[in-house]
Amino acid sequence: MLDRERDVALQAVRLAASVTRWVQDGPSLGSVDKKDKSPVTVADLASQAVICRMLDEAFPGQPIVAEEDSTPLDKPEILAGVLAATDAVGAAMTEAELRRSIDRGGASGSPERFWTLDPIDGTKGFLRREQYAVSLALIEGGQVVLGVLGAPNLPPRSGLTGEGTLLWAVRGQGAHQSPMSADVVEPISVSTADAPDRARLVESVESGHSSHDHSTQIAQRLSITAPPVRLDSQAKYAVVARGEAELYLRLPTRAGYREKIWDHAGGVIVLEEAGGRITDIHGRALDFTHGRTLANNRGVIASNGRFHDQVVQTVAEFDFPD
């Protein structure tokens, strides 16, 4: 079940990861600020273009909900950079093809089946040459059924060699990882730590993404003594899924903000299939039936599942903007 979808998704994310690495290894990352002041780079656009084109060729007409659009290509230096990046990995496109592929990600969702893509989750981490991820997921009937995370700067574990890590999961089939450049595959699973005082916490590098002050206070109440590890992107889901941390908190920082589905879908299924648990701060399952945002949820709590309810109860002691 979903074998073809899985294979296409893995191939697409692996190619997108190679194009992001090509850009990151170059002299300039080529970024501009969007209307919301968040950065978008040549690599974001090239990644979205190659993935959307591959999905469109394999599954014509299926909706794709992705983060970017082709507007930044109006800047000649950005257009030239994206054309060069796609050409460098053997996915050359004309300007028209490039714009069409990027804008295939403009769907608002579907009640039946759609893909959701974050071509670079953690763009600021990418710009710092730290952690970032390419995240692709398939959603059917409001449930994430397939997810792939490409983390080019996240080392493989368990003695596997290679640069970067590819993680993926299909609903009901467990979670797996392999080095980005190799075909060696291993299953992954969450840690067995069964009490908060044994937990390791991961959170966003950017305080605008999650309240660091609240995280510190919650960790203290849970008797978590290990210092938090701060990572950009859905690499946080990855390290919890493979047992290198037990808890990921993404706590609301401002009223009215709702999480984007592409920021979580791929990581959610990888962690769930590895044995973990994900809810919002109120203990509700994440609801992917409301278009481009998790409109019915506030924040995210992701854990190895052993003491999740205790974390939810502790978080409930704090007031967060709605």
Do 143 and 216 share a domain, yes or no? no
pLDDT tens digits, 94-115 = 999 999 999 999 998 777 899 9
Do 85 and 201 share a domain, yes or no? no
Task: Compute the average pLDDT of residues 114-123.
Answer: 97
Do 77 and 50 share a domain, yes or no? yes
Percent of the chain with pLDDT over 70: 96
Average pLDDT taken over every residue of the chain: 93
Q: Is residue 160 over pLDDT 70?
A: no
**Which pair of structure tokens corresponds to residue 129?**
């040459």
Do 134 and 258 share a domain, yes or no? no
Which of the residue ranges 152-161, 177-186, 290-299 would you say has the lowest mean pLDDT? 152-161
Which of the residue ranges 18-27, 42-51, 205-214 would you say has the lowest mean pLDDT? 205-214
Helical axes 42-58 vs 95-103, angle rounded to 10°: 80
User: Structural domain of residue 215, as residue ranges?
Assistant: 196-315
Cα–Cα dist 178/166, whole Å: 5
Do 143 and 222 share a domain, yes or no? no
Q: Which of 123, 165, 279, 314 is catalytic?
A: 123
Do 166 and 260 share a domain, yes or no? no
Asked whether residue 248 is assigned to any structural domain, the reply reads: yes
Asked whether residue 146 is assigned to any structural domain, the reply reads: yes
Asked whether residue 228 is assigned to any structural domain, the reply reads: yes
Question: Active site includes 123?
Answer: yes
Q: How confident is the model at residue 156 (pLDDT cuts 50, 70, 90)?
A: confident
- CATH (domain of 41): 3.30.540.10
Task: Compute the average pLDDT of residues 281-293.
Answer: 96
Q: Which amino acid is at 93?
A: M
pLDDT of residue 210: 58
Ramachandran class of 122: left when φ > 0, alpha when ψ lies in -120 to 50, beta otherwise: left
Domain boundary among 168, 188, 208: 188
Do 32 and 174 share a domain, yes or no? yes
> In sequence order, what E strands does the chain have?
31-33, 39-41, 64-66, 113-121, 133-140, 143-151, 165-170, 175-179, 186-188, 201-203, 229-230, 247-250, 277-279, 300-303
β-strand partners of 167: 149, 177
Phi, psi of 3 (to 5 degrees): -65, -45
Cα–Cα dist 102/117, whole Å: 11
Asked whether residue 243 is assigned to any structural domain, the reply reads: yes
pLDDT tens digits, 248-258 = 999 998 899 99
Which of the residue ranges 31-40, 176-185, 191-200, 266-275 would you say has the lowest mean pLDDT? 31-40
Asked whether residue 321 is assigned to any structural domain, the reply reads: no
- How many structural domains are present in the chain? 2
pLDDT of residue 182: 78
Domain boundary among 156, 188, 220: 188
- CATH (domain of 304): 3.40.190.80
Do 165 and 249 share a domain, yes or no? no
Question: Active site includes 87?
Answer: no
Asked whether residue 203 is assigned to any structural domain, the reply reads: yes
Q: Is residue 209 over pLDDT 60?
A: no
Asked whether residue 322 is assigned to any structural domain, the reply reads: no
Do 177 and 226 share a domain, yes or no? no
Task: Compute the average pLDDT of residues 31-44.
Answer: 87
Token pair 């919002």 is found at 280
Asked whether residue 127 is assigned to any structural domain, the reply reads: yes
Do 15 and 121 share a domain, yes or no? yes
Domain boundary among 141, 168, 188: 188
Do 204 and 311 share a domain, yes or no? yes
Q: Which of 44, 118, 232, 280 is catalytic?
A: 44
Do 204 and 100 share a domain, yes or no? no
Q: How confident is the model at residue 55 (pLDDT cuts 50, 70, 90)?
A: very high
pLDDT of residue 220: 94
pLDDT tens digits, 67-91 = 999 999 999 999 999 999 999 999 9
